[in-house]
Amino acid sequence: MAEDIKNIKEQNEAEAVAQHPDYAAEIVELVQKKLTPHVLRDRVLCYHENDIAAALEQLSPSDRQRLFQLLDADTLSTVFSYTDDVGQYFGELSMRKKVDILKHSEADAAVDYLRQLSRAERTTLIDLMDDDAKREIALIGSFDEDEIGSRMTTNFVFIESGIGVKQAMRSVVAQAAEHDNISTIYVVDPADRTFCGAIDLKDLIIAREGTSIDDLVVTSYPYVYATEAIDDCIERLKEYSEDSIPVLDDNNKLLGVITSQDVVEVVDEELGDDYAKFAGLTAEEDIKEPLFRSMRKRLPWLIVLLGLGLIVSAVVGIFTDVVRRFALIICFQSLVLDMSGNTGTQSLAVTIRVLTGEALTAKQKLYLVFKEARVGFCNGLTLGLCSFALVGLYIMLIKKEPAATAFLVSACTGTALFVAMILASLAGTCIPMLFKRLKIDPAVASGPLITTLNDLVAVVTYYGLSGILLIGILGM
């Protein structure tokens, strides 16, 4: 029976491998074989560029050099677009190969590659490029990394307004040789290249020859400005299902486009960045990041939290007399602190999602605060009553304390939990709003910060009530 189960398991694993082959491993095996360059190149090119990119990290530097020599610059530029370690692989190429790859890369990708090189090498490579490539790289490189212009591409097709369909088709065909994003055609003013609108390629193809372009253009087409912060326009970009969205300068002239792939990448990076900040990091980390760089990202908030933690500990020290005279209350401190922290983190997550998703009016912000306060009130009341009953029964039945003492302690716990959850809900809502008001990313108001602040409130509430009820009433 055991042997049959083993055979079935091995068969299932074999079928899983057959259904999901490891193409990267196959490419590595191919490169390591003693095949002639012509045969090896033809076999490697049978695989998708994404699989070739995945194989790069499994190859030795010498094997990568062999592969780089086989593949042309156009193919390598596509392969590099699928990897996160461009800096490492780019450094292994010859100067001439680097220039060729930059020429075949999208301008935004070329800028990313260049940013990972030293200033001297970057200057040398730019000097070796043609004037058109230099202009495109200089244009995209002129924007800060947090501006949407740094993510745009100049790979788009445009025509001038006022021309006929036949002339427009000739212009599109001429540009299609260099630009492959032709599903949407942008229309600009012939005088100063001001953006006028867009035309779907299908509409242009089926239009009658005598039709004017002005009759086909969609003038309500969405657009963004190159100097807009990515955080400010990312939600607008997500709302549209267009293949690409035009990027304009401050004079409404067409500079480039943001493709749907760019939008996906930007959203993914923003989510990763927000998640990192939510966890108390200054930026996102990856698995290969050096030790000291990871420390630099984590230490700033940890130092702040250490200071806040010392304040919480100092506040607890104020109530040493309460703890000394009735040590049992320590058992339920974590209950109040944990529930308070969880409630604050929930409100924080909801608030950050709302703040980053839309622009709220003052009335809507007040409604959000009121809503979260109601949620905290109802949840706190429910859990406070539950803890009052359960903690009281636990102390009375397990610890064998008198009923009056047991339920007085549970009243401290339940009331502190109730108050702490209300205040935690308000803190988790108001603090990110305050950060947003101060032009600070609300994600910086991270879970650890909210949790520590809520700990401070919960400690004061819990031990303050314990001091009033247990010592003031019972005289313990």
Which of 248, 278, 308 is the C-terminal boundary of a domain?
A: 278
Residues 307 and 252 in one domain: no
Here the tokens at position 264 are 């996906």
Residues 260 and 323 in one domain: no
Residues 169 and 50 in one domain: no
CA angle 73/76/80 to nearest 5° reads 140
Considering the domain boundaries, does residue 466 fall inside one? yes
DSSP 149: G
Considering the domain boundaries, does residue 319 fall inside one? yes
Backbone dihedral angles phi then psi of residue 257, each to the nearest 5 degrees: -140, 155
Nearest to 305 by CA among 95, 109, 445, 191: 445
Considering the domain boundaries, does residue 6 fall inside one? no
DSSP letters of 362-399? HHHHHHHHHHHHHHHHHHHHHHHHHHHHHHHHHHHHTS
- Tell how strand 184-188 and strand 195-200 pair up: antiparallel
Kindly give the confidence (pLDDT) of every residue in the chain, 476 residues in length, as a single tens digit, with 9 standing for 90 and above. Answer: 444 444 544 554 444 444 457 888 888 888 888 788 888 888 888 888 888 888 888 888 888 888 888 888 888 888 887 887 777 787 788 888 888 888 777 777 777 777 777 778 778 888 888 777 778 888 887 888 778 888 888 888 898 888 888 888 888 888 887 777 788 889 999 888 899 999 988 888 888 877 888 888 888 888 889 888 877 777 677 677 777 888 998 899 999 888 877 776 766 666 555 555 555 555 554 555 667 766 776 677 678 778 877 887 887 778 777 777 777 788 888 888 888 888 887 888 788 777 765 667 788 888 888 999 999 999 999 999 999 999 889 888 888 888 888 888 888 889 889 988 998 888 888 888 887 777 766 665 555 677 777 788 888 888 888 877 776 665 55
Which of 278, 303, 338 is the C-terminal boundary of a domain?
A: 278
Residues 43 and 103 in one domain: yes
pTM here is 0.54
Considering the domain boundaries, does residue 437 fall inside one? yes
Residues 238 and 307 in one domain: no
Tell me if 343 sits within 8 A of 428, measured CB to CB.
yes
Residues 123 and 178 in one domain: no
Residues 327 and 201 in one domain: no
Q: How far is the C-alpha of 129 from the C-alpha of 301, rounded, in Å?
A: 43
Considering the domain boundaries, does residue 149 fall inside one? no
CA dihedral 290, 291, 294, 299 (to 10 degrees): -160
DSSP 361: P
- Domain of 27? 22-144
Considering the domain boundaries, does residue 7 fall inside one? no
Residues 89 and 34 in one domain: yes
pLDDT in tens, 277-316: 555 555 554 555 667 766 776 677 678 778 877 887 887 7
Provide the residue type at 4 as one letter.
D
Residues 442 and 330 in one domain: yes
Distance of CA 145 to the CA centre of its chain: 14
Residues 44 and 113 in one domain: yes
- Tell how strand 224-225 and strand 157-160 pair up: unpaired
Q: Which residues pair with 254 in a beta bridge?
A: 248
Which of 107, 122, 144 is the C-terminal boundary of a domain?
A: 144
pLDDT of 383: 92
Residues 323 and 387 in one domain: yes
Considering the domain boundaries, does residue 402 fall inside one? yes
Residues 371 and 406 in one domain: yes
Task: Give the long-range contacts of residues 93-99, CB within 8 A, separation 24 or more.
Answer: 93/68, 95/124, 95/125, 95/128, 97/68, 97/73, 98/125, 99/125, 99/128, 99/129
pLDDT of 450: 74
Q: What is the CATH number of the domain that holds 114?
A: 1.25.60.10
CA distances from 236 to 222, 440, 474 (A): 9, 20, 61
Domain count, the chain: 3
Considering the domain boundaries, does residue 172 fall inside one? yes
Q: What is the CATH number of the domain that holds 440?
A: 1.10.357.20
Q: What is the CATH number of the domain that holds 270?
A: 3.10.580.10
Q: How far is the C-alpha of 389 from the C-alpha of 372, rounded, in Å?
A: 26
Q: Helix, strand, coil: what percent of the chain each, to 5?
A: 70, 10, 25
Nearest to 376 by CA among 410, 407, 348, 404: 348
